[in-house]
Structure 1
Amino acid sequence: MTGPDDPHWRWEFRCEDFVYARLADAQTAAEQLPAGDARDAELNRIDSLYLIADQHNIWIDARGRSHAACVTCTATAGVPCTTMCGLARLWRNHPDYQPGWNDSIDNPRNRGNVYDSYKQRTTIYQQRKAELDAFYDRFDLEQVDGGERWRCKACGAYGETWKPMPGVYDYPHAIGTAPHRHPTCTPILENTEPTT
């Protein structure tokens, strides 16, 4: 945060202000509805949106400095964070909405991985489950000497031992490499006597 003399002062808060203003408008309108299930459902919906927004406010310390991060996200998520920008898009036809807040979605020229990912309409759990199911159908993940490696269930072949680095993104190296390093195999055949 700079200061009030800077013409761009508080630019990073405009998206948050926009979201809270729209939620306040929606709550006022909902409170005017006749008592009943429809009013309760709308107030609950608005409360849920407030709950999401509340977790993604930009953190300001007691000296008034912005930490370029919301309460729950890291600084690398950008300011304002993608969650707050996504909430703002609920009112993308409002005259105060800034298309740049969601440029990777609203502008076809800038659509890329973010757009492709969300258009799949799947959760991270569903994506990981598909990947893990495919891995565990063919391989085991073994713990070896403080590390891990893959082992083929059919032929017994195994990959190199990978030791995760502390404090680094903990993606199981073996799960990502096994299908590439061992695309096919010859199953171990049991010794059987020939039948006549």
Structure 2
Amino acid sequence: MKKKSERYLAKRAARRKAAAQQLPPDEPLAPRPRRPWIFRLMKLLFVTVLLGALSVASNLYQLVSGPIWPTGPSFTPGSPSFSSALDIPFVVANKSAFFRATNLVISCHLHLNAVSPTRSGILMRDGIFATIAPQGLNPVLEPQASAPYTCPVRNHLRLDNRDAIDSINGSQVYFTSEYDTRFFGRSRSQSEIFTLDTHTSPPQWVVGTPLK
């Protein structure tokens, strides 16, 4: 019995030895190559230059009171009036400190509801805007200059043989602009949506869409 046990253990050890011989020897890990010092220096110089450029741009922005890059025209409502709100001009400004906008054209996108004295009316579904064809503002809008712009909607909509914009009781408007800037070519931008607040006297344009 003891001899059988010894033979069994010997065979088992031999099988383990044969299996170990079939395994490939462990290869030592290749050392990770170190990056040349020049690459570390270039990375440091890039980060330094980038931070310096951002600092210069920030200081210039504060110094000249405006962006030093081209910007799309910005729109600000004019003072409220008891005349039709759509007759009130918006102030269009070029806030860039160095780049002028040329060949500027503006499209007016209008949503309105109007009711005549006879109770006939125009009711547009929420989110639907009619586009008024682009109109030239100025051949050139100089850096940090501004000019008035009125949406050319008068005489476009009739209600009971009257101009519909004299009977509006709710409206929204936004503007898209196309213009050229030096080095950057033709660009397009879109303004915020302005909503006519009819709860004030006189009604006035405010930025955004009111919560419901």
Q: Aligning the two structures, in what range does the TM-score lie when normalised by the shorter sequence?
A: under 0.3
- TM-score under structure 1 length normalisation: 0.21
TM-score by structure 2 length?
0.20
Q: Compare CA radii of gyration and give the structure with the larger one.
A: 2
Choose between structure 1 and 2: higher helix proportion: 1
Higher RCO (C-alpha under 8 Å, 6+ residues apart): 2
Greater fraction of residues in strand: 2
